[in-house]
Amino acid sequence: MLIRAFIPTDIQQCLVIFDSNAPKFFDHSEREYFEQWLLRQPALNESYLVIEVTDRGVIGCGGFYILPESKEVRFAWGMIHQDFHNQGFGTALYRHREKLIKQGFPNFTLSLGTSQHTFSFYQKMGMKVTQLIPSGYGPDIDRYDMEL
């Protein structure tokens, strides 16, 4: 397993990963927004990463962005291809991003928005729910705001 910086040629595989997780983890309506966000990555001051495995290529992606005015670092678009769930890749991606954030932004709050399907994963990582918005991401996909 290799966790490396996202490059523009990763876009198609990241969209395949998104598609493998819709509609349970992401509403289909979010796909266009995710694609546009990926296309803007080279111009943004953000950190987006991919997980690459031998013989399969990119199987996960996720990053973070900085909100300096509120001293907050926010996780963005973290996902693992459905075929690779529950194999430790999500934990590895979380820990890698957390380490980068703690090194670069030691006095910042780490936050994210996630759904009812994954908030317990982030709770295991030590994050706490700060707000719940029913159907906040789409029909039947509640939004859980969390902080560490």
Task: Give the pLDDT band (50/70/90) at residue 45.
Answer: low
| Residue 14 or residue 25, greater confidence | 14
Q: Which domain holds residue 102?
A: 2-147
What is the enclosing helix (H) or strand (E) of 88? none
What whole-number percentage of the chain has pLDDT above 70? 97
- For the domain that residue 16 is a member of, what is the CATH number? 3.40.630.30
Report, as an integer, the average pLDDT of 90-112: 95
Which residues make Cβ contacts (< 8 Å) with residue 94, sequence separation at least 6? Answer: 62, 78, 121, 122, 125
Q: Do 67 and 73 touch, CB atoms closer than 8 A?
A: yes
| Residue 41 or residue 95, greater confidence | 95
- Residue-wise pLDDT for 54-77, tens only, equals 999 999 999 999 999 999 999 999
Domain count, the chain: 1
Report, as an integer, the average pLDDT of 14-41: 93
Q: Enter the pTM of the model.
A: 0.91
pLDDT of the residue at 43: 64
